[in-house]
Amino acid sequence: MASDEVWPALPLEAWRETYDTLHMWMQIVGKIRLALSPMVNHWWHTAFYLTSRGLTTSPMPYGERTIEIAFDFIDHNLSIDMSDGQWETIPLTSRPVADFYIELMATLQASGVDVKIWPKPVEVTDAVPFPQDQKHAKYDREYAHRAWQVLMQTDEVLKAFRGHFLGKCSPVHFFWGSFDLAVTRFSGRKAPEMPNADPVTREAYSHEVISHGFWPGGVSAGGVALDEPVFYSYAAPEPAGFKDEIIRPKAAHYHPKLSEFVLSYDTVRQSNQPTAMLMEFFQSTYDAGANRGQWDRPALER
């Protein structure tokens, strides 16, 4: 990107209600993806991917057909595309999560897709089952569009960053449970076993990783509140001395409760060269984790 690149403002308080509603809608679609998609290591089969209009599940198998569900943040629709030519849309507009859930599941059923999901959100506090959720009902088209724009621009940087790595690496993908866009690099070594962790966490962190991404803020699965959007980086398991490393740019810092390095989105957005600053953050935090973790960098990097 050129130095005149523009990243949109995304203050958390301005769109928190829309964020919460959209999070629940995405969890419903995400659980459909989980139910229909074959298992892939580290739960990669559950994630969404960026498109030129929004976010997609990518094609999912269903009998002799495939089905793809996508959020469109330009025309503000949820599209349901099937390989036999069937196509349905549901408008994205202010409405309770319960209504969205009922209409989506009924639309799938009418299209011959009988899918069962656990109808309760994950990775949130005070989880309300989807069929009963009348609280989350706000949808601001402008802020939904801005959030997608931020994800698109971050996706571009993460893909360029990913291209320098030769080892095992995740796609750049969006996790609907935690509502973050991420890419994860692997050292190639197994991580110490986590006997007290839940099955999802054990599978996600079965091997040594360094992960980078974007999170719009809110309350994390661990109950940590952050009132602004951030870019993040962490190593798991975290090597000794990682949190004490000097990271670039200077505005980045280690968040002890999240156990991650974070860089404010607004700091990046307001800089003269947002992409260059963000790439510097991703690279310096990777350097810190790979060096402290004694990764075989000559074998893993271009």
Of the three residues 132, 167, 194, the one that is the final residue of a domain is: 132
For the four alpha carbons of 245, 257, 230 and 253, in that order, the dihedral sign comes to negative
Confidence of residue 4 (pLDDT cuts 50, 70, 90): confident
Would you list the DSSP string of 27-76? HHHHHHHHHHSPP-GGGGGG-BEE-SSEEE---EEETTEEEEEEEETTTT
* Residues 193 and 241 reside in one and the same domain: yes
* Residues 148 and 265 reside in one and the same domain: yes
User: Considering the domain boundaries, does residue 3 fall inside one?
Assistant: no
**Mind listing the pLDDT tens digit for each residue in 171-209?**
999 999 999 999 999 999 999 998 888 988 999 999 999
* Residues 114 and 194 reside in one and the same domain: no
User: Considering the domain boundaries, does residue 4 fall inside one?
Assistant: no
* Residues 172 and 44 reside in one and the same domain: no
Average pLDDT value for the chain: 96
User: Considering the domain boundaries, does residue 6 fall inside one?
Assistant: no
* Residues 86 and 29 reside in one and the same domain: yes
Of the three residues 105, 132, 159, the one that is the final residue of a domain is: 132
**Mind listing the pLDDT tens digit for each residue in 66-106?**
999 999 999 999 999 999 999 999 999 999 999 999 999 99
Supply the pLDDT for residue 1.
40
Return the closest-CA partner of residue 119 out of 127, 110, 108. Answer: 127
Supply the pLDDT for residue 3.
53
Supply the pLDDT for residue 261.
98
* Residues 172 and 57 reside in one and the same domain: no
* Residues 92 and 188 reside in one and the same domain: no
Confidence of residue 2 (pLDDT cuts 50, 70, 90): very low
User: Considering the domain boundaries, does residue 223 fall inside one?
Assistant: yes
pTM higher than 0.85, yes or no? Answer: yes
User: Considering the domain boundaries, does residue 122 fall inside one?
Assistant: yes
Of the three residues 112, 132, 152, the one that is the final residue of a domain is: 132
Supply the pLDDT for residue 54.
98
User: Considering the domain boundaries, does residue 5 fall inside one?
Assistant: no
User: Considering the domain boundaries, does residue 2 fall inside one?
Assistant: no
* Residues 118 and 236 reside in one and the same domain: no
The stretch 284-300 carries a mean pLDDT of 98
**Mind listing the pLDDT tens digit for each residue in 215-227?**
999 999 889 999 9
* Residues 115 and 188 reside in one and the same domain: no
* Residue range(s) defining the domain that contains residue 27: 12-132
**Mind listing the pLDDT tens digit for each residue in 109-168?**
999 999 999 999 999 988 999 999 999 999 999 999 999 999 999 999 999 999 999 999
Length of the chain (residues) = 302
Alpha helices in 111-222 (DSSP H): 141-162, 199-204
* Residues 285 and 191 reside in one and the same domain: yes
**% of the chain surpassing 70 pLDDT:** 99
* Residues 98 and 213 reside in one and the same domain: no
* Residues 207 and 287 reside in one and the same domain: yes
Domain total of the chain: 2
